[in-house]
Amino acid sequence: MKERIVVIGAGVIGLTTALELSRRGYLISIVAKELPGDEARFYTSPYAGAFFYHLDSLASRGWLAQLQDIASYYEFLRVAQEPGSGVSERVAEVYVPRMSMKETGYDGPWFKDLVRNYEMIDPREYPVGAAGDDIVFAFRYTGFTINPVQYLHYLLYRCAQSGVNYVRRTVGSLEEARTLFLDGDDFVEADLVVNCAGIGGFDLNTTDRQNRLPVKGQTLLVENVARKLTIVEAMDAEHAAESLYVVPRAGYGTLLTGTYLYHDDSLDVDEELTERIKKRALRYAPELVESGYMRNPKRLVEVRQFVGIRPGREGGVNVSRDGWRIHNYGSAHSGYQNSYGLANRVARLVQEGTVRSRL
Ligand SMILES: Cc1cc2nc3c(=O)[nH]c(=O)nc-3n(C[C@H](O)[C@H](O)[C@H](O)COP(=O)(O)OP(=O)(O)OC[C@H]3O[C@@H](n4cnc5c(N)ncnc54)[C@H](O)[C@@H]3O)c2cc1C
């Protein structure tokens, strides 16, 4: 019989891992404190941008990270064809000001030969508002944007279709989680437990606590519609930790964001930061307030501000196995971008253990 596996967590990492394992024939129960539709300080997935992007060049990006990301890229482009998934294919444009160009001899992002329709942007096409930012590199490609709440519901639905069940429960340890495989109306012991608890993953793997690295992000959702996904690396010397992301979403509306506050897990909103984000967005995406485009209102109409805490980890994401315990947490700012790649790695860890135990 195939292994019974408890997956802890119903963020993008837990749901994708559960889905990919069930597609391979394993029996899966998800055990999670928060489920899609919930909001909580340490339930990060609903607060993401979310899109596919990383500025590193091929030379500076590890091959494992590349494999994870590109596996996810093509899966998301496929999912984008499914109505109601919350994923939409979009043109993505990236502008890199001189102040944020860290590499010398940079000739494009690591994915330039792997994504669809990659090309450099001619300086004559730069938005008028970019003047003064000293842009040294700009490119576009076929990307996608994700409406996270819609996509999390989609994943849960796909899991249910694939035979995955789920239980709302806070667990205090991996041992406790192991007793919570739901079999009909009863709990039985699981063969394996996968820790996909995001920032909570460190509480369940206490020997790793010193690597906990929360990274705060602040976002603003507006009703106005942007034409494309626009990414501008840091352009303001006074606020060098701030970039600009203009993220048009499925169902319209646009998310404006671009902040990384390391070792910060507070939830307060910085109103001055919100004003800076709005000003930058209007420089690069003036159509947001042009009635000629999608009948946009003449000012930004705020829906809501959000704060999300990215589950970062010193040393990068932890995907590892120790007997019946498997970990998959710490994906920081790219949990969507590498979700399918990480789930594939977990599936290999499950399989390798199974093969070894049969020898
Ligand atoms: C502003 C912002 C923008 C972002 N933009 C992007 C982007 O563009 N692209 C991208 O790829 N990523 C982006 N991210 C990062 C992405 O959101 C995260 O990497 C991802 O959501 C992490 O998912 P997760 O499943 O690991 O954690 P979470 O979503 O936090 O889920 C954790 C799950 O574990 C459960 N849990 C925790 N502890 C316990 C316990 N003890 N018992 C039971 N259940 C437990 C929780 O209830 C929850 O269900 C962004 C994040 C932010 C904040």
Confidence of residue 297 (pLDDT cuts 50, 70, 90): very high
Residue 290: Cβ within 10 Å count? 16
Residue 355 has pLDDT above 70, yes or no: no
For 144, the enclosing helix (H) or strand (E) is strand 135-146
Pocket test for ligand 1, best of 6, 13, 156 (most atoms within 8 A of CB): 13
- Which numbered atom of ligand 1 lies nearest the CA of 199? 30
Q: What is the pLDDT of residues 162-184, one digit of tens each?
A: 999 999 999 999 999 999 999 99
Which residues are CB-neighbours of 358 under 8 A, at least 6 positions away? none
d(C-alpha 309, C-alpha 215), whole Å: 5
User: Does the structure show a pLDDT above 60 at 359?
Assistant: no
Are 224 and 254 spatial neighbours (Cβ–Cβ below 8 Å)? yes
Residue type, 349: L
Distance 12 CA to ligand 1 centre (A): 6
Nearest ligand 1 atom to alpha carbon 45: 21
- Ligand 1 pocket by Cβ (under 6 Å): 8-14, 31-34, 42-45, 47-51, 170-171, 196-198, 200, 203-204, 217, 219, 257, 308, 310-311, 329, 331-337
User: Average pLDDT of 271-285?
Assistant: 97
Domains of the chain listed by start with CATH number: 4-358 (3.40.50.720)
**CA-closest residue to ligand 1 atom 10:** 334
Q: If you take atom 20 of ligand 1, which residue's CA is the nearest one?
A: 335
The backbone region for 153, taken as left when phi is positive above 0, alpha when psi lies in -120 to 50, beta otherwise, is alpha
Interatomic CA distance for residues 318 and 195, integer angstroms: 10
pLDDT of residue 57: 79
Nearest CA to ligand 1 atom 3: 48
The reply to whether ipTM tops 0.85 is yes
